[in-house]
Amino acid sequence: MARVLIIDDNDTMREGMAVTLKKQGHEVAAFRSGAEGIAAYQKRRFDMVVTDLRMEPVDGIEVVRRVRSHDSEAVMMVVTAHGTIETAVQAMQEGACDFITKPFPPEVLRAKVEKGLELSATRRQVQKLSAHVEALSQDAVRAAGSMVGESEPVQKLLSMVRKAAVSDATVLIQGESGTGKELVARMIHEVSPRREGPFVVVHCAALAETLLESELFGHERGAFTGAVRRKLGRFELADHGTLLLDEIGEISPSIQTKLLRVLQEKELQRVGGEETLKVDVRVLSATHRDLKAEVASGRFREDLYYRLHIVPLVIPPLRERPEDIGMLARHFIAKHGPKVNPKVKGLSDDALLALGRYAWPGNVRELENAIEQALVFAEGEQLTEQELPAFLHGPQARAAHAQGALPIPHGDRPLPDILEDLERQLIERAYEKAGGVKTETARLLGIKTSALYYKLEKYGFIQKGEGGQTS
């Protein structure tokens, strides 16, 4: 049984349509003016509206317009005694799905109403499915560990991720080191129709050319020295799933050529093999390089660039979303605190200010590393400025950060290694200045003696078990 709204200022016509549709088993509400019918629909949704065209002062065209503005999925049919092409076209343009010309027999009304109700049911089902898919997409983004932040750049990026995920197009994720390119790739996979398939990552910069070719495409036994058995490549392992090519800008011209063929033909050959294998893989790629500039310099194939660049996503660096720093810091306290220092529950205002003053060249990864280090030294329930890594506090640090200077050169080394070296150097200098006296070293560093023992053991200044000594 469906709910049908009838609007007609002719009493005989209105009552006749109502009787016909009630006999068909439908629930019918009938009104003699357009204003009454509109008000009724705004109070309760109907599955279909049948309205007369010529009424005063609110005619059928206005009824269609206002009901559709209230409910874009409303199914409307116009009844008119003036069945011209012009009125039919106008009714359709305003959103009516059909029209019927007076006079008409009951069976024609029943047939047209049934057709309209089928359309109504379809529209409602699509509406429900769309809402369900959107909810699933948002849940999947959260389940994949979506980017922490409420800033406009992050929200814009997440919106683009949801839109990109539903297609099967290749996506190029660009961003500085430490911004979370692999995280975004995982989010795309988790929201996509391929989420039940594998998610496979290849770190292109970490492998030599010959090893990378084998990793990507696999090899046959005996293909080269050391190939004692057949190996499936990452493309095969990612079949019916998603493959992330991380740091795609580092691959050689030879690999670029072979990769282009796979993207174009959806097929490959293992190294040393002759069999052509079909693969069904969605390819995502990530890079910290400007691939367009690499193309201009001749280091990257232009045709491959356009194959990868169908959907571009750019992750904003942390310095462009400073309002997210506090939220990220608290997120990392909640993430690492239970294991490193359970008593820490938050961070102080001075610590938040210190974090906000820094430019974060290593982005979110550098911030996470700094918070994890600070948790080791924290004494209270809140991280303070003095418990943050040395490069984040003190007058000299503030002056350097205000000028945009980096505490140490980065080169090509991983950020955690750089930060560990800095920490080790600071402890070594303080230890030498204190003449090897641990309590004095801890005082110079401004940390607890117990935290100092942990660091001295970590960096090999003392042997494990010497922590009970106070010299």
Cis peptide before 57 (omega within 30 of 0): yes
Q: Answer with the residue of higher pLDDT: 462 or 39.
A: 39
Q: Please check the confidence at residue 241 and state whether its pLDDT lies above 70.
A: yes
73-108 as b/e: b if 16+ CB within 10 A: ebbbbbbbeeeeeebbebbeebbbbbbbbeeeeeee
End-to-end CA distance of the chain: 88
What is the mean pLDDT of the segment spanning 422-440? 79
CB 311 within 8 Å of CB 157: no
Q: What is the CA radius of gyration of the chain?
A: 33
What is the mean pLDDT of the segment spanning 111-132? 76
Write down the pLDDT at residue 127: 64
Confidence of residue 416 (pLDDT cuts 50, 70, 90): low
pTM of full prediction above 0.85:
no
Q: What is the residue-averaged pLDDT of the chain?
A: 85
Distance CA 10, CA 399 (A): 83
Q: Answer with the residue of higher pLDDT: 404 or 224.
A: 224
- Non-local (6+) Cβ contacts of 42 within 8 A are 70
CB 260 within 8 Å of CB 308: no
Alpha-carbon distances of 41 from 29, 305, 386, rounded to whole Å: 10, 53, 64
* Cα torsion angle, 48, 127, 155, 284, sign: negative
Domains of the chain are 3-126 (3.40.50.2300), 146-316 (3.40.50.300), 317-407 (1.10.8.60), 415-471 (1.10.10.60)
pLDDT in tens, 376-387: 989 999 999 989
Q: Please check the confidence at residue 255 and state whether its pLDDT lies above 80.
A: yes
CB 81 within 8 Å of CB 63: no
3-state secondary structure the chain: CCEEEEECCCHHHHHHHHHHHHHCCCEEEEECCHHHHHHHHHHCCCCEEEEECCCCCCCHHHHHHHHHHHCCCCCEEEEECCCCHHHHHHHHHHCCCEEEECCCCHHHHHHHHHHHHHHHHHHHHHHHHHHHHHHHHHHHHHHCCCCCCCCHHHHHHHHHHHHHHCCCCCEEEECCCCCCHHHHHHHHHHHCCCCCCCEEEEEHHHCCHHHHHHHHHEECCCCCCCCCCCEECHHHHCCCEEEEEECHHHCCHHHHHHHHHHHHHCEECCECCCCCEECCEEEEEEECCCHHHHHHCCCCCHHHHHHHCCEEEECCCHHHCHHHHHHHHHHHHHHHHHHHCCCCCEECHHHHHHHHHCCCCCHHHHHHHHHHHHHHHCCCCEECHHHCCHHHCCHHHHHHHHCCCCCCCCCCCCHHHHHHHHHHHHHHHHHHHCCCCHHHHHHHHCCCHHHHHHHHHHCCCCCCCHHHCCC
Q: Please check the confidence at residue 36 and state whether its pLDDT lies above 70.
A: yes
pLDDT in tens, 260-318: 999 999 999 999 998 899 999 999 999 999 999 999 999 999 999 999 999 999 999 99
Write down the pLDDT at residue 242: 96
Beta-carbon-side half-sphere exposure of residue 101 (alpha carbons within 13 Å): 6
Write down the pLDDT at residue 198: 94
